[in-house]
């Protein structure tokens, strides 16, 4: 697939840095096998930040398996960045860390049983 940056700023996807106005080839296998990359591409595409040429069949893909174990109350995912809202199912919980040197934060996103999204941000005080 060919990803074209529609923004005036760089777009950073897992393994890719796309300059403003530039187009980057992303192998279909990367999109089909890397859930985090697929979620990033889907979110950027939905937001209008990127254009997608020659998409693989099934684009945009859904049903991303974030590895949550929804059969128990302890299932959750630790991610490297915020997942798109549409990738969460009822009962899913995701944690990620913003490693900003001056204001680090732990983020939580979940979807309740009735499908409501809930988020929290926890500031971390540097030692």
Question: Domain end: 53, 69, 86, which one?
Answer: 53
d(Cα 41, Cα 37) in Å, to the nearest integer?
A: 6
109 close to 82: Cβ distance less than 8 angstroms: yes
Structural domain contains residue 71: no
Q: Which domain holds residue 47?
A: 2-53
Q: How far is the C-alpha of 59 from the C-alpha of 65, rounded, in Å? A: 16
In a domain? residue 19: yes
Domain-embedded: residue 61? no
> Is 58 part of any domain?
no
The number of domains in the chain is 2
When pLDDT is cut at 50, 70 and 90, the band that residue 120 belongs to is very high
> Does residue 8 sit in the same domain as residue 43?
yes
pLDDT for the residue 6? 93
Same domain, 8 and 45: yes
Residue range 101-107: mean pLDDT, rounded: 84
Q: Cβ distance 49 to 7 under 8 Å?
A: yes
Q: Report pLDDT for 3.
A: 95
Is the pLDDT assigned to residue 94 strictly greater than 90? no
State the pLDDT at residue 90: 79
The verdict on residue 118 lying in a domain is: yes
**pTM reported for the whole predicted model:** 0.51
* pLDDT tens profile 56-91: 877 887 655 555 444 444 445 667 778 888 878 777
- 72 found inside a domain: no
Distance CA 62, CA 35 (A): 10
Q: Which pLDDT score, from 0 to 100, does residue 73 have?
A: 45
Strand, helix or coil for residue 87 = helix
Higher-pLDDT residue of 100, 109:
109
Residue 41 belongs to a domain: yes
In whole angstroms, give the CA distance from residue 39 to residue 59.
Answer: 11
2-45: pLDDT as tens digits: 999 999 989 988 889 999 999 999 999 888 888 888 888 888 88
């Amino acid at each position: 697939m060919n990803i074209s940056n529609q923004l005036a700023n760089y777009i950073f996807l897992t393994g890719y840095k796309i300059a403003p106005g530039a187009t980057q080839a992303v192998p279909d296998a990367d999109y089909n096998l890397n859930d985090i990359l697929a979620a990033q591409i889907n979110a950027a595409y939905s937001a209008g930040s990127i254009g997608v040429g020659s998409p693989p069949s099934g684009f945009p893909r859904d049903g991303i398996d974030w590895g949550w174990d929804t059969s128990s109350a302890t299932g959750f995912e630790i991610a490297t960045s915020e997942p798109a809202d549409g990738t969460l199912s009822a009962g899913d919980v995701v944690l990620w860390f913003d490693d900003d040197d001056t204001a680090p934060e732990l983020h939580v996103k979940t979807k309740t049983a009735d499908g409501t999204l809930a988020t929290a941000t926890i500031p971390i005080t540097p030692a």
